[in-house]
Every structure is written in C-alpha cells, then in structure tokens.
C-alpha cells in the first residue's frame, strides 16, 4: 500500500517556497507566493513537504531551474529546510528587509505587500537569463 500519496509540487522554471510562518511577515511571504503562482510566474510549492522528506517535492525541486525562497525573517526557516534536504536556494528574499517588524499579528498593510512584491521582483531581475 502506498503511504506517500505525495503532493502537487511539480518541476518547472521556478518553484516558490514561502516559510508561511505564523506571524505578519510569514503570512506576507505566503500570500506573495500565492500571488506570483496565480500569475504563472512560478509554481508555489510545499516547504512542509520538503521538511517532511517528501520525495515528490524534493525531486521536483531538484529538476527546477530557480528555487525562490520567501522567508519572513532572518531566522530563514524555509532556506534551512531546503539546505537540510540537499536543495540549494537560488534566491532568498526576507520580508523583514523592507523594514517590517515581525509581530504575531497575522496581517500586513497594502503598502508592505507592495514593497515586498517589488523587492522580490527586483531580486529576480538580477538573475542571469
Ligand atoms: S523564517 Fe521567520 S517568519 Fe518564517 S517561519 Fe521562520 S521564524 Fe517564522
């Protein structure tokens, strides 16, 4: 019997792994990943699946050109999970780099969202094509 039904993580040009932390910056990272994925800029993927050693997610990431990690704060959980599973992050973006203070409130302002989105797109622009 197959006890590992896997997930929907698929290889592509870019996979996006938000830390999805339970705080303002973690939720901002998660919503930003959703937005970029919904606009077909990449494929949002499950950092939890990678952390759990999910073979489908890890193998998909290994075949993917750009691994974008959106971490809420400098603790960098998503990037650390990637490292522990043998995956090299191509670009890491920290939401706190826009000057946000991490709080346990699960929301953020439109201005903070716009700044984080711009910072992320600017970083992606610097990648070699
Ligand atoms: S990177 Fe920061 S915000 Fe994200 S899960 Fe870790 S501690 Fe929480």
- What sign does the CA torsion over 85, 88, 90, 96 have? positive
Does pTM surpass 0.75? yes
Q: What is the pLDDT of residue 2?
A: 43
Closest approach atom of ligand 1 to CA 71:
1
86 CB burial (10 A radius; 0-12, 13-18, 19+): exposed
The pLDDT tens digits for 44-75 are 999 999 999 999 999 999 999 999 999 999 99
Which residue ranges make up each domain of the chain? 14-123
Measuring from atom 7 of ligand 1, which residue has the nearest CA?
A: 75
- CB of 25 shorter than 6 A to ligand 1: yes
The pLDDT tens digits for 66-102 are 999 999 999 999 999 999 999 999 999 999 999 999 9
Tell me how many degrees the CA angle 33-38-44 measures, rounded to the nearest 5: 40
* Average pLDDT rounded to a whole number, residues 26-33: 98
């Amino acid at each position: 019997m197959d006890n590992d039904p896997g997930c929907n993580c698929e290889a592509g040009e870019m996979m996006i792994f938000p830390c999805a932390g339970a705080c303002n910056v973690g939720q901002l990272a998660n919503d930003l990943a959703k937005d970029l994925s919904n606009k077909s800029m990449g494929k949002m993927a499950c950092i939890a699946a990678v952390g759990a050693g999910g073979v489908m997610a890890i193998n998909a990431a290994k075949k993917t050109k750009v691994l974008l990690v959106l971490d809420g704060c400098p603790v960098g959980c998503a990037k650390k999970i990637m490292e522990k599973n043998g995956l090299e992050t191509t670009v890491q973006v920290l939401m706190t780099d826009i000057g946000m203070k991490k709080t346990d409130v699960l929301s953020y302002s439109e201005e903070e969202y716009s700044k984080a989105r711009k910072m992320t797109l600017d970083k992606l622009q610097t990648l070699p094509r």
